[in-house]
């Protein structure tokens, strides 16, 4: 039941945070402009790329707390947290120093702007570094909270901080100073409050205080092998997700890159489902693996995949089919919606396929296997780098989206094979066709078919979106009911609820 509550809390937090993030974009565009929004997107990319310095420590902390909780001894986890805390806060200082040193080169030579001065962009880059440094330790403390299966608490804090970050930023640029510098200054204030809050909660969940533990090099040595593997996976994974944005920020002008970032932001609505799902399943799979519950692990893996994709694929099909209507309703800007819509339709396909691989990725990490995800990421980088460069120069933003989609098609097929050669062997193609391909085909047929048959020009965008949402909901129901495993689970839950009500 705790997993259910955690998932509900995580989805609610993600939904709220994503809704806020989408709601404030029109305000940013109005008060800061498309070029400044492109700079905000560059900040998001830089923040993700600097996760390379994480060295796999946050997922390691998550896994170690989950194992310690399952085994009933929390002391090793507290010692590890104390030791890693020092590493993280020192890294935060390093991040700010790197950003300050690199800011002139980035502000004057990397990005191309028609309206912002080089000095203004240099100041903005320095402030970006400050924001990232302030937020840097948050991942470590989130790892503790999620490893202890307390995602509801983490979700509540995250929702509150995202609210302060988004609404506060709108107030700042609307009523105080409509500048990108003011925007980043506010984000730095929220970031430090966020980090301090998460630190306090993490230690309380572990039932001790920082002063009760000491730095231990031995604790770091015990996890170094998994952490090193996770570091390599994290580096290649971040590069894989952010490579297109990094390259396009150089290839495209800032305005065109802003349109591409807008499309990526709308497509990221899928993470409303993906992020909380991963945060729930990773520690759960880790605990099952630690307890050698292999039968339960396989059942959880396959049923969970189907449940996730019952929401993910219909939502992705809806966004892809109705991208222009969604962008217009969101931004109120017809020219921008027209430019970004084709990018969204392609980009969201790649994101959905990437999301389908969250369960295999969580399985790999839960079993302590970092070699397979590293192999997969290296393969995909070899494909994505030349593909992105070639298609982006030929097709601009749409080329970047096509590269992302093609890369994730390869990821789905090759990743399934490489994962299940050694982990849960014998289920690779059953998982791929029954648990992934079937929901995909159902979603495309129902949502795509309705979109092609519906006369949008006659009924208008509002009715088109309502009809499209209804078709996505219908696809979700069909995906659930066509799975024997899911039907059995649903009926068992209903029967249990009925008996408890009678009692």
Instruction: Name the CA dihedral angle for 273, 29, 99, 95, rounded to a multiple of 10 degrees.
Output: -30
359 token code pair: 């369960």
Q: How many whole angstroms separate alpha carbon 143 and alpha carbon 305?
A: 23
Backbone phi, psi, residue 256, to 5°: -65, -35
pLDDT per position as a tens digit, 247-275: 888 888 877 888 888 888 888 888 877 87
Q: How confident is the model at residue 21 (pLDDT cuts 50, 70, 90)?
A: confident
pLDDT per position as a tens digit, 342-400: 999 999 999 999 999 999 998 998 888 878 988 998 999 999 999 999 999 999 889 99
pLDDT per position as a tens digit, 46-92: 666 655 555 556 666 777 777 666 666 666 677 777 777 777 788 88
Q: Which residues contact 98 (CB under 8 A, 6 or more apart)?
A: 129
296 token code pair: 């339960």
Give yes or no for a contact between 185 and 171, defined as CB atoms under 8 angstroms apart. Answer: no
State the pTM of this model.
0.68
Q: Which of 102-111, 197-206, 213-222, 409-418 has the lowest mean pLDDT?
A: 213-222
User: What is the predicted pLDDT for the residue at 456?
Assistant: 58
Rounded to the nearest angstrom, the gap between the alpha carbon of residue 254 and the centroid of all alpha carbons in its chain is 24
């Amino acid at each position: 039941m705790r997993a259910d509550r955690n998932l509900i809390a995580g989805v609610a937090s993600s939904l709220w945070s994503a809704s806020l993030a989408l709601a404030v974009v029109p305000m940013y565009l109005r008060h800061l402009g498309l070029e400044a929004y492109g700079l905000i997107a560059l900040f998001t990319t830089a923040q993700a790329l600097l996760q390379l310095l994480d060295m796999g420590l946050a997922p390691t902390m998550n896994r170690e707390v989950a194992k310690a909780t399952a085994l009933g001894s929390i002391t090793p986890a507290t010692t590890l947290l104390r030791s890693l805390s020092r590493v993280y806060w020192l890294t935060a200082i390093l991040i700010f120093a790197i950003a300050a040193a690199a800011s002139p080169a980035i502000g004057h030579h990397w990005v191309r702007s028609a309206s912002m001065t080089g000095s203004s962009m240099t100041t903005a880059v320095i402030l970006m570094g400050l924001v990232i440094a302030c937020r840097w330790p948050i991942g470590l403390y989130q790892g503790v909270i999620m490893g202890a299966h307390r995602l509801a608490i983490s979700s509540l804090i995250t929702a509150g901080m995202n609210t302060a970050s988004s609404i506060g930023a709108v107030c700042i640029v609307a009523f105080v100073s409509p500048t990108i510098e003011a925007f980043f200054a506010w984000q730095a204030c929220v970031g430090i409050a966020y980090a301090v809050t998460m630190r306090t909660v993490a230690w309380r969940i572990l039932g001790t205080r920082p002063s009760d533990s000491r730095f231990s090099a031995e604790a770091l040595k015990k996890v170094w092998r998994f952490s090193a593997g996770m570091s390599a996976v994290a580096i290649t994974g971040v590069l894989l997700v952010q490579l297109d944005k990094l390259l396009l920020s150089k290839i495209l002008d800032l305005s065109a890159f802003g349109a591409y970032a807008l499309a990526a932001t709308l497509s990221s609505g899928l993470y409303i489902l993906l992020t909380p799902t991963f945060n729930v399943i990773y520690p759960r799979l880790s605990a099952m693996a630690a307890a050698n519950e292999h039968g339960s692990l396989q059942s959880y893996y396959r049923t969970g995949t189907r449940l996730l994709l019952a929401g993910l694929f219909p939502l992705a099909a809806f966004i892809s089919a109705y991208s222009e209507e969604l962008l217009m309703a969101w931004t109120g800007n017809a020219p921008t919606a027209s430019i970004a819509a084709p990018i969204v339709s392609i980009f969201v396909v790649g994101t959905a396929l990437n999301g389908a691989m969250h369960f295999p990725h969580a399985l790999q990490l839960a079993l302590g296997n970092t070699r397979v995800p590293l192999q997969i990421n290296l393969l995909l980088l070899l494909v994505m780098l030349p593909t992105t460069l070639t298609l982006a120069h030929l097709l601009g933003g749409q080329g970047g989206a096509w590269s992302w989609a093609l890369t994730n098609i390869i990821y789905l097929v090759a990743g399934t094979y490489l994962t299940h050669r050694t982990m849960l062997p014998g289920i690779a193609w059953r998982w791929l066709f029954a648990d992934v391909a079937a929901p995909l085909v159902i979603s495309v047929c129902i949502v795509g078919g309705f979109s092609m048959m519906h006369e949008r020009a006659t009924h208008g965008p509002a009715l088109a979106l309502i009809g499209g949402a209804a078709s996505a909901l219908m696809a979700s129901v069909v995906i659930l009911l066509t799975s024997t495993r899911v039907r059995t689970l649903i009926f068992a839950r209903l029967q249990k609820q009925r008996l408890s009500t009678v009692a």
